[in-house]
Structure 1
Amino acid sequence: MTTTATPSTSGQPTPASTAPELQLDLVGMTCASCANRIERGLNKLPGVEATVNYATERATVRLAPDAAAAADARLDPDALVAAVEKAGYRASLVVPRSASAASAAPGSGSAEAGAAGEARPDALAALKQRLLISTALTVPVLLMSMIPALQFTYWQWLALTLAAPVAVWGAWPFHRAAAVNARHLNATMDTLISVGVSAAFLWSLYALFFGEAGMPGMTMTLQLLGTPEAGAHEIYLEVAAAVTVFILLGRYLEARAKRDSSAALNALLDLAARDAAVLRDGVEVRVPIDQLQLNDRFVVRPGEKIATDGVVVEGTSTVDASLLTGESVPVDVEVDSRVVGGTINVSGRIVVEASRIGADTELARLARLVEEAQTGKAQVQRLADRVSGVFVPIVFVLALGTLLGWVLLNGSIEIAFTAAVATLIIACPCALGLATPTALLVGTGRGSQLGILIKGPQVLESTRRIDTVVLDKTGTVTTGHMEVSAVVPASGISATDLLTFAAAAEEGSEHPLARAVVDHARATGTALPRASEFASHAGLGVTAVVDGRAVAVGRASWLASEWAIEVPDAALAPHEAQGSTPIAVAIDGAFAGVVVLADELKPTSRLAVARLRELGLEPVLLTGDNAGAAAAVGSALGITDVRAGVTPAGKLEVIRSLQASGRVVAMVGDGVNDAAALAAADLGIAMGGGTDAAIAASDLTIVSGDLALVADGIRLARRTLRTIIGNLFWAFGYNVAAIPVAMLGLLNPLLAGLAMAFSSVFVVTNSLRLRSFRPLPRP
């Protein structure tokens, strides 16, 4: 049977793809060994680099660096699918996620069109049904085997009747996977389970039909721990049935964990609106979201979701962006305000002009970042993958050695069989394959709920090592918007009159400083008279006539050189020393005072720096601003290492010099001029309100732009890494410790199956604890 690589949303064949990366949905994987086998098969293809994630059941394939340089380099989806099928599994090409696709299929919880994605909910239900039926049949077998009082005459034949469906039908997924891998001359963890269950069941059949176990009056007691001299019971039906149930339970809990850990990503996609009220010739027309076009204008009423990214062109309102950014405080929007699709309009009616649609929206971009993070592998997991790849053959050798060793030393086939089966079952290292993916899924999912996007597993390892955090000033620790901080009049004029004349003259200017003065005047309720004879002098200032009086607003040096108006140094120096920008105002040829503007600190900047210090990080302030402004901000934040007047290239040099001195550096920035430094840093952290270039170059993104969340992001990444390491230690240590016990005949196969299933459940449960992560409380 041939599986097509064509997405279900496309009717055309795709023999080759120009995309730099493709993803495949995989069907049939049951353990980490399966993932390793598929990964090796894909990586054998020329020019291909592939990573297979067992937890997400997905392969990420890209061109190898040497192959990507070729002009005709292409990824062949058909060849990729054929390689997966050759390994004994099935695959389908994944359609990229987009918010509109998710909203178009609200019941799916996923935007993939592949058959694998569609089948997973049914597969989980089928697994649950198999588990429940097997449990119902196994419980009586266990009770009869454990309690002699329940062992009536010929009870063993009833046990056989109940256990046979469990050992055959209940364990069928393991038998089938083992057979598929055997046809490809390969052995996986399912092979261990299948052989162990089959051995216990077939031995019981032999003992019942050809031995003395089928005789009337046969009794037995269950020994979880035993000694080699005690031998083993004649039949192992309870072992075959109970081990099957325990492992099915482990697999079911794993499957549920995968679904739950992806809930954050699906919830992110579900934020998208399903339709929009588009204005066509002045009439509202309700259209599906995928029919929305760039520059379309659509109406958003109170309580409705904003359909896509855009700019407000009419009305004022308050927007709740908490589900997307993690920021609990609603944001006021007005004409020219930028809004993001998926956020909720709280109060007034607004009209928005679409600036981004489909896969280009902020929501779709964030979903891709989360998904990319969940498909990677940490360095520690790659080691675990290599271990699990050679583990299964070693276990078979150990089990065979155990069987032969006991036969030669003790002569008891029962003891030898018990020890060999226990070795097979206890050794199954399913937990190794789950250690990293489950923690990464839950950790990144929880991060996306809080507005913290972790790009990949390598980020986790970086956060553990960093000791220095470099903070860009403008837009990162400060708002990046100049605001009036003081109005200082000269003698003979009031502060209100000074602001009135200055703002009225500046009203005709589009300069950011001028707009800040005008906005401040309006915010304070100052009535602005109409100005005439307005003239703008680029980079210097403006002149106008206000209420019949000549007004000049601008640089002090310009007033002195052009208008012979001397501005006292005492009026400027205190403000310049604090890093503020004083604008001089003259009325009728005389100095009237200064309006002082400053780039204000963000409300959480002081708290953020304090919490970064608590994490053991030394802060460095980096800015292209003047030394006075930088020193003032550094003093306010308690940062002693301040680097001012630094160019974009200079920022990169600062990062490299810190690294050369032995520091492990995190860089926090938001602008295009920070992109090179973010990429060069050991850990790049971008503010979500910043430029696309900065976000693309970073490893971790704070969607809301709240600097205090940087510390929470580092805490979450470090906790996720600790969880991964703990999972791997438990999974690997458990196998190393338990295998010798089983080989010595001190472990009943029933207990071995229970312990093996528990190890997987422990790893999954330990990872799910990350869902309880909470940001540090705000004072």
Structure 2
Amino acid sequence: MSQNMNNFINNKKSIKKFESNYHIEGMNCASCVNHVEKSLRKIPGVLEVSVNLASEKAQIQSEKKISSATIKAAVEKAGYKAIPILEEEQKDSLMPPKQKDGKWLIIFSALLSLPLILPMLLLPFSIDFALPVWTQVILASIIQFFIGRKFYISAWKALWTKSAHMDLLVVLGTSSAYGLSLYQIISHPTDVLNGKIHLYFESSAVIITLVLFGKWLEGRAKRKTTSAIRALQELKPEKARVLSNGTEVEVLLSNLKMNDIVIIKPGERIPVDGEIVEGFSQVDESLITGESLAIDKLTGDNVTGGSLNYNGLIKVKINALGAESTLSRIIRLVEQAQMAKAPIQKLVDKVSAIFIPIVLAIAIITFILWGVLSGDWEKAIINSISVMIIACPCALGLATPTSIMVGTGAAAKHGILIKDAEALEIAHAIKTVAFDKTGTITEGKPHLIRIKSIKMPEEELLAISAALQTGSEHPFAKAVLIAAQEKNIPIPKVTNTQAISGRGISATLNNKQYYLGSERLLNEFAVQIDDEYKNIVKKYADMGQSVSWLFEKKETQSILIGFLTFSDTLKEAAKEAIEHLHSLGIKTVMLTGDHLMSAQVIAKEINMDEVYSNLLPEDKVACINKLKNKLTKVAMVGDGINDAPALAAADIGIAMSSGTDAAMQAAGITLMRGNPILVSAAIEISNKTFRKIQQNLFWAFIYNIIGIPLAALGLLNPMLAGAAMAFSSVCVISNSLLLRNWRPRK
């Protein structure tokens, strides 16, 4: 194994992090997120913290296990409440908690606010109607201090913890309007009763009602952002039918054991990952792989928990349970991606950290300047109230996470698993995509085409080759073993088997040391090849066939015994996948350990731009770095353990789920189907998601850039400011939700 491969695996093993997840109650805006993260980062041992406003969840990674009490104390110190999410509660972990009495409280508040605002609504119709003063006081007080009590509680916590967030602005604004009205009643009772002085109870009441309504709509919209992952979570049946002592017994999934036999009837969800041991059927795996067509499943085939059994009764032997099942791993990947922060979020966090103090400063300046320059201190108060109410940082806090949650969810629905937000953000900037060949562009199921022996009968050469490759997962090894089985050739046992990374394999048989591998391996051992065989091999390579050489290593020299040629089938969508990438302005490159001529045949057929052949794993890494040095973002697509270092070295790695765990671990994106056309689809959903983030941030910033000056100049009524603030977040989330309509192009 190469040094790069060793380093890659050792690094993966050495990194051990403890992860814990918590729901955070009481967050209202991006400033809240900053306060919670800042408090959690102060805990000794904490490595990374990610708090998501959209899901109201915190994900904490630490170098040691941190007690729940410590986490709760840190969050409470910031003015919020933390509730641990246990493993068995993960099903609802991404969903914001349901509001208990939100709807009815809003209706009650609206009914109380209506009489206060009714005179203003009737005025254009020349109906002069005035509500009795003390009726106004009673209605406004109920709204201000009973319905709006949670704003006061939250604002007090903010002051106590020396922080500032949206609720503080709401309390300051509405309390100012309410207080000004009380002041007018006490100082000028006669003028108030005669209607000469206007009261602002309707402003404070309507602002609270609108803010509550906006938050309620925001909560409903946020729950929609998690619809994709909830669809995956709901694929898990609660029970399974197990065959026990010849009888069917229904048991909870938590009580299942490895190797249990589960019976699945037509029309039922398959509850577990396993192998069919009896029966055949068609299975719909669309919600897991994105593949819309039902797949034929026979005895010996694997099935995935969560898929739908169509028309046959099958018996399945369990081979994965709980967190190790495919569906659980998919959900875990999507959760991690939705919790992560995109690099662009760093700008938002910096702005949010200073946003509310700046708004308060602007409100104070507005109050002083209006009072001093105009002498109208009442107008000064109203304008400063408008400034505080219009300046809501909720939209800023929701702009990025909602786009990421919907984008990653839409991608997962179509078989594209995005590991984190960074991968999602980088993918849109990709300008070069490098592909491995076998299993990525081709089916990865090569067939043994011919056996050419020089020193022994062909059957003996095949037997030795099969013996060397027994237990290997390499596609060529499987082809050799299948050919030996079809010819009923006994396979001898070998010893001292050793894989030679990227080049081949060696083993001892009957005290002889045999090697089977690529032309590079042949050259390393200085094996002599007659021109006759070189010409024959060149002819096969020109036809797109791959060659493996068998030779024996002796003390003085290595002797060529013969060679095997293999042919692999292009994936049906390979050419279309390359065309899609070209249409996006993306350059395509092939990186393969195969012979140059056979690689060029494949590349020419699918119109790939460049080919690099005869590559070891470290050579692929060097090629990736060379491409990156051209100041272009590079993606690597692969499926084997030999691709893992290159996947890790690329700006973003894209792994086929049909490949090895090492490849998927190193990749930022995993394709649940081995269809190369999903590569362009992954880049497209990244493009669309990043555009949504940009749009949301634009509208969030422009809203405040325009709204705050208008309010400061006295051109914005406090009630209009409250309405605009209430709906700004809903607009941002609604824009993000448009991503749910995304479909990969056919």
For residues 370-385 of structure 1, what are the structure 2 equivalents within 5 Å?
Answer: 370-385=334-349
1:478 to 424, 442, 445: 442
Alpha-carbon separation, structure 2, partners of 1:304 and 1:747: 59
Structure 1 equivalent of residue 599 of structure 2: 630
Task: Answer whether contact 1:96 1:111 (CA < 8 A) is retained.
Answer: no
Identity %: 38
For residues 313-392 of structure 1, what are the structure 2 equivalents within 5 Å?
Answer: 313-392=277-356
Unmatched tracts of structure 1, length 5 or more: 1-17, 103-108, 220-232, 488-501, 520-527, 541-553, 556-566, 584-593
Alpha-carbon separation, structure 1, partners of 2:489 and 2:545: 30
1:75 to 63, 66, 69: 66
Task: Answer whether contact 2:603 2:611 (CA < 8 A) is retained.
Answer: yes
Higher mean alpha-carbon deviation, 450-459 vs 167-176, is at 167-176
Alpha-carbon separation, structure 2, partners of 1:396 and 1:678: 48
For the pair 1:710 / 2:682, whether they are aligned, the reply is no
> 1:620 Cα shift?
0.3
For residues 574-723 of structure 1, what are the structure 2 equivalents within 5 Å?
Answer: 574-580=539-545, 598-723=567-692
Alpha-carbon separation, structure 2, partners of 1:213 and 1:364: 71
1:513 to 474, 479, 485: 479
1:447 to 408, 411, 421: 411
For the pair 1:56 / 2:55, whether they are aligned, the reply is yes
User: Under a length normalisation based on structure 1, what TM-score does the superposition of the two structures give?
Assistant: 0.79
Alpha-carbon separation, structure 2, partners of 1:677 and 1:206: 71
1:491-543 CA-to-partner distances (Å, cap 9, x unmatched) read xxxxxxxxxxx9xxx9xx98633676699xxxxxxxx9xx8886779999xxx
For the pair 1:128 / 2:103, whether they are aligned, the reply is yes
| 1:750 alignment partner, SS class | helix
> 1:749 Cα shift?
1.0
Alpha-carbon separation, structure 2, partners of 1:533 and 1:672: 30
The structure-2 alpha-carbon separation of the partners of 1:209 and 1:619, relative to structure 1 and needing over 3 Å to count, comes to same
| 1:576 alignment partner, SS class | helix
> 1:382 Cα shift?
2.0
Task: Answer whether contact 2:546 2:594 (CA < 8 A) is retained.
Answer: no
Task: Answer whether contact 2:119 2:130 (CA < 8 A) is retained.
Answer: no
| 1:377 alignment partner, SS class | coil
> 1:612 Cα shift?
1.0
For the pair 1:110 / 2:92, whether they are aligned, the reply is yes
| 1:355 alignment partner, SS class | strand
Structure 2 equivalent of residue 591 of structure 1: none
> 1:249 Cα shift?
2.0
Alpha-carbon separation, structure 2, partners of 1:747 and 1:533: 88
Q: Which amino acid aligns with 1:191?
A: L
Task: Answer whether contact 1:234 1:414 (CA < 8 A) is retained.
Answer: no
For the pair 1:146 / 2:121, whether they are aligned, the reply is yes
| 1:480 alignment partner, SS class | coil
| 1:91 alignment partner, SS class | strand
Structure 2 equivalent of residue 35 of structure 1: 33
| 2:199 alignment partner, SS class | coil
Structure 1 equivalent of residue 703 of structure 2: 734
Structure 1 equivalent of residue 83 of structure 2: 92
> 1:334 Cα shift?
2.1
| 1:481 alignment partner, SS class | coil
1:398 to 362, 376, 379: 362
For residues 290-309 of structure 1, what are the structure 2 equivalents within 5 Å?
Answer: 290-309=254-273
For the pair 1:180 / 2:178, whether they are aligned, the reply is no
1:231-275 CA-to-partner distances (Å, cap 9, x unmatched) read xx7211221122122212221122112211112112111111222
1:438 to 392, 397, 402: 402
> 1:389 Cα shift?
1.6
The structure-2 alpha-carbon separation of the partners of 1:532 and 1:236, relative to structure 1 and needing over 3 Å to count, comes to closer
Structure 2 equivalent of residue 551 of structure 1: none
For residues 450-461 of structure 1, what are the structure 2 equivalents within 5 Å?
Answer: 450-461=414-425
> 1:47 Cα shift?
2.7
Structure 2 equivalent of residue 497 of structure 1: none
Task: Answer whether contact 1:403 1:420 (CA < 8 A) is retained.
Answer: yes
Alpha-carbon separation, structure 2, partners of 1:130 and 1:532: 78
Alpha-carbon separation, structure 2, partners of 1:464 and 1:127: 39
2:195 to 213, 218, 223: 218
Q: Which amino acid aligns with 1:78?
A: A
The structure-2 alpha-carbon separation of the partners of 1:690 and 1:96, relative to structure 1 and needing over 3 Å to count, comes to farther
Alpha-carbon separation, structure 2, partners of 1:730 and 1:391: 16
Task: Answer whether contact 1:154 1:218 (CA < 8 A) is retained.
Answer: no
> 1:204 Cα shift?
1.8
1:119-171 CA-to-partner distances (Å, cap 9, x unmatched) read 922x2x41222222222332343232232244335455544444433333332
Aligned residues: 665
1:26-74 CA-to-partner distances (Å, cap 9, x unmatched) read 11212221211111111112231322111111111122xxxx4xxxx44
The structure-2 alpha-carbon separation of the partners of 1:354 and 1:727, relative to structure 1 and needing over 3 Å to count, comes to same
Q: Which amino acid aligns with 1:579?
A: G
Alpha-carbon separation, structure 2, partners of 1:661 and 1:439: 31
Higher mean alpha-carbon deviation, 427-436 vs 136-145, is at 136-145
Q: Which amino acid aligns with 1:60?
A: Q
> 1:416 Cα shift?
0.8
Task: Answer whether contact 2:281 2:310 (CA < 8 A) is retained.
Answer: yes
Unmatched tracts of structure 2, length 5 or more: 1-15, 452-461, 471-476, 495-503, 506-515, 518-531, 549-562
| 1:120 alignment partner, SS class | coil
Alpha-carbon separation, structure 1, partners of 2:67 and 2:427: 36
1:657-684 CA-to-partner distances (Å, cap 9, x unmatched) read 2112323210111111111111111011
Higher mean alpha-carbon deviation, 244-253 vs 472-481, is at 244-253
Task: Answer whether contact 1:154 1:214 (CA < 8 A) is retained.
Answer: no
The structure-2 alpha-carbon separation of the partners of 1:424 and 1:581, relative to structure 1 and needing over 3 Å to count, comes to closer
Q: Which amino acid aligns with 1:80?
A: I
Higher mean alpha-carbon deviation, 735-744 vs 287-296, is at 735-744
Structure 1 equivalent of residue 217 of structure 2: 253
| 1:479 alignment partner, SS class | coil
User: Under a length normalisation based on structure 2, what TM-score does the superposition of the two structures give?
Assistant: 0.82
Structure 2 equivalent of residue 429 of structure 1: 393
1:298-355 CA-to-partner distances (Å, cap 9, x unmatched) read 2222222222111222232221101111101222222322221111222322222211
Task: Answer whether contact 1:25 1:58 (CA < 8 A) is retained.
Answer: yes
1:21 to 13, 19, 22: 19
Alpha-carbon separation, structure 1, partners of 2:87 and 2:489: 57
Q: Which amino acid aligns with 1:355?
A: N
Alpha-carbon separation, structure 2, partners of 1:411 and 1:735: 27
Structure 1 equivalent of residue 736 of structure 2: 767
Higher mean alpha-carbon deviation, 426-435 vs 167-176, is at 167-176
Alpha-carbon separation, structure 1, partners of 2:349 and 2:571: 45
